[in-house]
Copies of this chain bind each other. A is one copy, B any other.
Amino acid sequence: LIPVAVLGATGAVGQRFVQRLAKHPWFELTQLIGDATAGSAYGDVPWRLEDPMPESVASLRVEGLQALGEAPVVFSALPSGVAGPVEARLAAAGRRVFTNASDHRMDPAVPIVIPEVNADHLDSIDRSKGFIVANGNCTSVILSLAVAPIHRAFGIERLDVTSLQALSGAGYPGVSSLDIADNVLPHIAHEEEKVESEPNKLLGSWQGGFRSAGIPIRATCTRVGVREGHLESVHLQLARDATLAQVREALESFRGPKDVAALPSAPKRPIHVLDAPDRPQPRLDAGREQGMAVSVGRLRARDRDVRFVVLGSNTVRGAAGASILNAELAKVRGLLD
């Protein structure tokens, strides 16, 4: 078992990290770092996920960052802004950092990885040293997964996306109930920039440097009063003609590389295509394959005009689960040796 620590272990994403690492077959959760609650037993910190806190972590003590021990692998659920310098320092000191924070995503030396999509971007890592591997922004990951097989098969010339994002995406306490009750918020700070840039890094190629996929992406990001599950309405213009059946087949048959499919956290099928006209729905579909699969529905295609909605668990596939899957990939590709 490889010892791992979680930074920011008591927040919304941090709790997802802890939940999914508590019984991990390869990683052993040895430290929970949380400056605000340092000194408390983890079991005494309010737990906000539906399933009960894993018993094995309740007795762990939350510690301050300065107490970070030997764990060679560090998962970071730190807030963006705070994360940047901390992660840089840890990497410089030889740690392998898998981060959910946005600070380093567009760094030329940091890959954004979705194992099923661009596992080869790990080639950018110099394995002789510490490093940072980022997962994308929650909305970007869910979008990129759904779009990857279409982009590969038919090319994408234009992408318009409007997201309906869940409350858990804002962390805890996050959105005030007074702001969202009987309401929608039509803006999420700094979100659209990420959604318009990250997928192009992800879907692009590594050739000694990262080359953008060059898709013009236009995003509008909104917040709705749903606890978990980002829903995205995606309108595409393809580079080549495709029938509805062909697009559907590309989505359904999409699988990552063989070694990715065998990772402990990998879903059996990264993308599920739903045919019921009123699916996917956040409450019913966000948890598909333990939250690691995305659900595509309302698939429509006409000439080069393709539309669908895609839903994914923002705190799992779009955050903690994404980072853990990246670490699993790093392990099988020899980066944690």
Q: Is the CB of B172 within 8 A of A178?
A: yes
**Chain B residues closer than 8 Å to A48, beta-carbon distance:** 178-179
Would you call A167 an interface residue if the criterion is a C-beta within 8 Å of the partner chain's C-beta atoms?
yes
Q: Which of A157-180 contact B (CB under 8 A)?
A: 160, 162, 164, 167-168, 172-180
Q: Which of A264-305 contact B (CB under 8 A)?
A: 277-284, 287, 297-298, 305
Q: In chain B, what residue has the closest Cβ to A172?
A: B178
Q: When chains A and B are docked, how far (Å) is the Cα of A177 from the Cα of B182?
A: 11
Q: Is the CB of A231 within 8 A of B168?
A: no
**A176 is contacted by which of B175, B222, B225 (Cβ under 8 Å)?**
B175
Q: Which of A130-189 contact B (CB under 8 A)?
A: 160, 162, 164, 167-168, 172-187, 189
Q: When chains A and B are docked, how far (Å) is the Cα of A311 from the Cα of B185?
A: 11
Q: When chains A and B are docked, how far (Å) is the Cα of A174 from the Cα of B175?
A: 10
Would you call A235 an interface residue if the criterion is a C-beta within 8 Å of the partner chain's C-beta atoms?
yes
A contact residues, total (Cβ < 8 Å): 50
Q: When chains A and B are docked, how far (Å) is the Cα of A298 from the Cα of B191?
A: 13
Q: When chains A and B are docked, how far (Å) is the Cα of A164 from the Cα of B191?
A: 19
Q: Is the CB of B226 within 8 A of A162?
A: no
Q: In chain B, what residue has the closest Cβ to A48?
A: B178
Q: Is the CB of B178 within 8 A of A278?
A: no
Which of A177, A179, A311 has the most B CB atoms < 10 Å from its CB?
A177
Nearest Cβ in chain B — how far from A214, in angstroms?
16
Nearest Cβ in chain B — how far from A13, in angstroms?
12
**Chain B residues closer than 8 Å to A337, beta-carbon distance:** none
**Chain B residues closer than 8 Å to A112, beta-carbon distance:** none
**Chain B residues closer than 8 Å to A279, beta-carbon distance:** 186
**A177 is contacted by which of B180, B220, B231, B287 (Cβ under 8 Å)?**
B180
Q: Which of A181-236 contact B (CB under 8 A)?
A: 181-187, 189, 218, 220, 222, 224-227, 231, 233, 235
Q: When chains A and B are docked, how far (Å) is the Cα of A179 from the Cα of B50?
A: 11
Q: Is the CB of B181 within 8 A of A225?
A: yes
Q: Is the CB of A226 within 8 A of B178?
A: no
Q: When chains A and B are docked, how far (Å) is the Cα of A307 from the Cα of B222?
A: 14
Would you call A12 an interface residue if the criterion is a C-beta within 8 Å of the partner chain's C-beta atoms?
yes
Q: In chain B, what residue has the closest Cβ to A12?
A: B178
Q: Which of A95-130 contact B (CB under 8 A)?
A: none
Q: Is the CB of A282 within 8 A of B184?
A: yes
* A12-B178, A50-B283, A173-B176 as given contacts; A184 in contact with B224, CB under 8 Å: yes
* A233-B162, A278-B186 as given contacts; A309 in contact with B167, CB under 8 Å: no
Q: Is the CB of A183 within 8 A of B226?
A: yes
Can you identify 6 A-B contacts, CB atoms within 8 angstroms? A160-B160, A164-B164, A174-B177, A182-B282, A183-B281, A225-B226
